[in-house]
Structure 1
Amino acid sequence: MNDESDQALPRVLIIDDSRMVRASIIRHVRDRFEVREEADGEAGWQTLMVDPTIQAVITDIGMPHLDGYGLLERIRKSRISRINTLPVVVISGDDEPDVRVKAKSAGATDFISKSIGNVELLARLEALTQLARTQRDLEESRAALATVSPTDPASGLATPSYLHYHAAQELSLAHRRHGDLSVMVIEIDQFDNLIARYGAHVAQLVNRKLSKILATKLRQEDTVAELAPARFVIVSPATNMDGACAFAMRLRTAIDHIVMTYREERIRIQITIGLAAAEPGRTQTVSHLIGVAMQRIAVGRAEGGNRVMGAKGEVTPEMASVPVRAPVSIDQYLLQLRTAGLDPGLRKQLPDAIRTLLPLLELIESEFPSGLPLATLARVAETGLVGAAPKGE
């Protein structure tokens, strides 16, 4: 750890068009604070944008180019958290109540007159900079926690960092077992137009609605995260491109039927989906698969949106009409088999159980050749006809 940085004085930005006023304030605080100074609000704003070490602002009201009220508005509306949370002290020779109220309503943290005493000025600045440091430490702690937490508290979905970590494990497992894995990126069409027409609040509600739908449509083994507003990614282990296409078409159809109402106006959601799948025998990364899916979304967006885009272009209902069976939980299957025996329901699921186990059986056969009837089992898994398979091979 750097001792010099630990002992550095907190930095304050003083903005006033009077050189004498700036010099007076600097003389009062220079033993406790490091100071930067600017002569107008516009120059002060530019300094805030480039200097992340500033912990508090002291600003005049009446200044050229950009007055104190305009500067306050920019600070509080900034999308940069270190700026919009800065303590701002308005200092003015005019101590009229209406000026004080206007400064406070514009976002001022404190209001002091230019005749304030040295001791009081230092006490207020120290309290405000300490508050700023505490808030910054809290934000950094929250950000660090978000990177290790598997769940985004706002959406209830997986965090992007956890999705990449977990998906990398699943992809490595699929490579080792010659299994399948697919990636699906989903984008809400015309999201910018939605914001422009209805406002950010309504657009956020639409975004949240889609995240809830995705959470209810997925299998337990799938992982979904929100990469950015209006863009989601789903990683599905044990799912090839055909299965991903079928699921994507069902999802798009479900979204097409959803209608939201805002101020008696009906809002429909449309999505474009890009798909990518791991290729056997080829080393790939999760980031690469997501990138491929996003490239396919870009093509679908250019063609008008509301499309599912796969390796060969747009996926049509006919291409995704082959039913795709989801993998069976083997643990659950064995538990039911032990408790209820091979009842009709379990017998019906037997082809799906075989299909789920096939990668493991292939691995066992490759490591310990024993003549397992893999071809027969593969046909059973593919056709679903248990009784059609010969007893031996």
Structure 2
Amino acid sequence: MGEPEQQPLPKVLIVDDSRMVRASIVKLIRGRFEFREESDGEAGWQALLVDPTIELVLTDIGMPQLDGYGLLERIRASQLSRIHELPVIVISGEEDGGARERARQLGANDFITKGIGATELIARLDSLTRLAQTTRQLEESRAALARQSPVDPVSGLATESYLNWRGEQDMALARRRQADLSVLVLEIDRYDQLTAQYGAHVAQLVTRKLSGMLSTKVRKEDTVTQMTPSQFVVLSPSTDLAGCAAFALRMQKVLDKLVMTYRDDRIRISITVGVASSRGDGVQTVSELINVATARTGAGKQAGGNRVVGDQGEITQEMVDRLRQQVVSIDQALVQVGQGDTEEIVAQLPAVVATLMPLLRLIEAQLGCGIPLDRLSHYNPNSASGNDGTQKA
């Protein structure tokens, strides 16, 4: 029998502009941990990007180019889960309550002073690396479970794999019925700034708030998935671009009135939404449709955020109202009635009536069945009950 395979030692990234401090830490942990040394925060950040074997970060506060607080902010704002979840210990030359509190708010896991003994330092490193390994294993298990389940166990929304599967079914059905399939990509504006200013836990609360709002305001046949900490995708069958844009604009209005408070600070949330439709954009696959909507979300964020973007650029409420006054597809309306989607038809009744009026006049002329043509021809759009989109307000 061969020798049992030796497990690699966990790697610690030591970031300090003092070579002597780095050397003293290395002396204390050598033989128990692998290590990598960097002399400032910027170099430490670059090391994290290229070295996925790093399991813990030990960083000084005062350093050139990028200090310890800046490095910590970048780590907690990272979209890469392997970096975002890394344990971080902040080291300082002296006990400083203000520095400790700021480090904690930015997401530091621990705070130690230089000159700490070997036993205590190793105990803290052991504890945090074990926690990181457990967290990583749980994340891997969650990801494996998510691949087999239609529902993400953390967000409660549909998994990305289910979204893709469901989307292909909806796309095939839309092609057979000559109906529309639309996608919204919603992204929280300035999410990195929110994370850096208030910490990852507050940013996660904002994400959960938006997640809950979306899950209660979409239709049963819609599918919602969280793609990144700040980005959501809504797949909406039998809905055109105008219907999706109307829903996005209503979501913006709801968020405009929402104010979250944290330590006497009032936090306001806004979103940028890209919308795309299979018929309007001539797209044949769900992945293409999501890519088109995502690109429009990116364009909206570059333009300043807090806007809805379609194929012609920013979409306003006036544009949506104008689109809804145009002639509608009776075939699509019948499909929606068959699916029980009466809210959408109620919202479009004026346009439906206007489109059907020539046929109704012919029926009345031939059968004389008492169709109230005068009343229908003067149908007032403002008197229609319901809302202006497929999703619930």
**TM-score above 0.5, yes or no:** yes
Question: Which stretches in structure 2 are left out of the alignment for 5+ residues?
Answer: 260-265, 300-308, 341-361, 368-393
Q: Is the 8 A contact 2:189 2:271 kept in 1?
A: no
Aligned-partner SS, 2:100:
helix
Measured in 1, the distance between the counterparts of 2:295 and 2:77 equals: 34
The aligned residue for residue 356 of structure 2 is none
Aligned residue in 1 for 2:326: 318
Asked if the contact 1:185–1:232 (Cα under 8 Å) also holds between the matched residues in 2, the reply is: yes
Query: What is the percentage of aligned positions where both structures have the same residue?
Result: 41
Separation in 1 of the partners of 2:22 and 2:192?
43
Per-residue deviation, 1:156: 5.0
Q: Distance in 2 between matches of 1:187 and 1:248?
A: 10
The answer for the alignment partner of 2:351 in structure 1 is none
Largest Rg, 1 or 2: 1
State how far apart, in whole Å, the 2-side matches of 1:195 and 1:77 are.
5
1:131-146 paired onto structure 2 within 5 Å: 131-146=131-146
1:250: Cα distance to partner? 7.6
Tell me the equivalent position of 2:277: 275
* Compared CA separation, residues 308 and 138, structure 1 to 2 (3 A): farther
Say whether the 8 Å CA contact 1:11–1:56 is kept in structure 2.
yes
What is the CA deviation profile of residues 343-386 of structure 1, one whole-angstrom value per residue up to 9, with x for unaligned ones? xxxxxxxxxxxxxxxxxxxxxxxxxxxxxxxxxxxxxxxx99xx
Change beyond 3 A, Cα 1:196–1:203: farther
Q: Post-superposition shift, 1:272?
A: 6.9
| Residue in structure 1 matched with residue 22 of structure 2 by the alignment | 22
Cα deviation code 1:143-191 (max 9, x no counterpart)? 333343323467654333212112324555777xx545531123569x7
Is residue 258–residue 269 contact of structure 1 (8 Å, CA) maintained in 2? no
Q: What corresponds to 1:261 in structure 2?
A: 257
The answer to whether the Cα contact below 8 Å between 2:14 and 2:38 also exists between their aligned partners in 1 is: yes
* Contact 2:89–2:109 (8 Å) recurs in 1: yes
C-alpha contact (below 8 Å) 2:91/2:114 kept by paired residues: yes
Question: Counterpart of 1:318 in structure 2: which amino acid?
Answer: Q
C-alpha contact (below 8 Å) 1:61/1:67 kept by paired residues:
yes
Deviations 1:114-168 (A, max 9, x none): 2514x44333322221122112222333333334332346765433321211232
1:185 maps to a residue whose letter is V
Counterpart of 1:360? none
Question: What is aligned with 2:314?
Answer: 304
Q: Describe the shift of the 1:81–1:109 C-alpha distance in structure 2 as closer, same or farther (beyond 3 A).
A: farther
CA–CA separation in structure 1 for the residues paired with 2:64 and 2:166: 55
SS at match of 1:318: coil
Tell me by how many angstroms 1:294 deviates: 7.0
Q: Rate the CA distance shift 1:57–1:137 in 2: closer, same or farther, 3 A.
A: same
- Asked if the contact 2:283/2:289 (under 8 Å) is kept, the reply is no
The corresponding residue for 2:181 is 183
Q: Hey, what's the Cα distance between the residues in 2 that align with 1:166 and 1:230? A: 19
RMSD between aligned residues: 5.2
Mapping 1:56-95, distance limit 5 Å: 56-92=56-92, 94=93
In structure 1, the partner of 2:100 is: 103
Residue identity in the other structure for 1:111? I
Q: CA 1:100–1:37 in 2, change beyond 3 Å: closer, same or farther?
A: farther
Query: Residue 114 of structure 1: SS of its match in structure 2?
Result: coil
Change (3 A) 1:271 1:126: closer
On the 8 A contact 1:275/1:309 being kept in 2, the answer is no
Q: How many residues align?
A: 310
Question: Alpha-carbon deviation of 1:288?
Answer: 3.9
Quote the Cα distance in structure 1 between the aligned partners of 2:22 and 2:193.
43
Larger deviation, residues 131-140 vs 16-25 = 16-25
List alignment gaps of at least 5 residues for structure 1. 331-382, 389-393
CA distance in 2, matches of 1:104, 1:257: 36
* Structure 1 length-normalised TM: 0.57
The secondary structure found in structure 1 opposite 2:314 is coil
Name the residue aligned to 1:366. Answer: none
Alignment partners' CA distance in 2, 1:7 and 1:36: 18
Looking at structure 1, the residues matched to 68 and 227 of structure 2 have their Cα atoms a distance apart, in angstroms, of 38
Deviations along 1:279-302, whole A, 9 cap, x unmatched? Answer: xxx994333455567789988354
Given that 1:309 and 1:315 are in contact with CA atoms closer than 8 Å, whether structure 2 keeps it comes out as yes
User: CA–CA distance in 2 between the matches of 1:309 and 1:5?
Assistant: 66
Q: Give the partner amino acid of 1:8.
A: P
Amino acid corresponding to residue 276 of structure 1 in structure 2: S
Q: Does 1:114 align with 2:123?
A: no
How many angstroms apart in 1 are the aligned matches of 2:56 and 2:295? 44
CA distance in 2, matches of 1:244, 1:207: 23
Asked if 2 retains the 8 angstrom alpha-carbon contact of 1:26 and 1:35, the reply is yes
Partner of 1:363: none
Question: What amino acid sits opposite 1:49 in the alignment?
Answer: L
Give yes or no for contact 1:16–1:40 (8 Å, CA) kept in 2: yes
Find the counterpart in structure 2 of residue 44 from structure 1: 44
Correspondence for 2:235: 234
Which residue of structure 1 lines up, in the alignment, with residue 214 of structure 2? 211
Residues 92-114 of structure 1: per-residue CA shift (max 9 Å, x gap): 5x4x4x42662354135141442
TM-score, length basis structure 2: 0.57
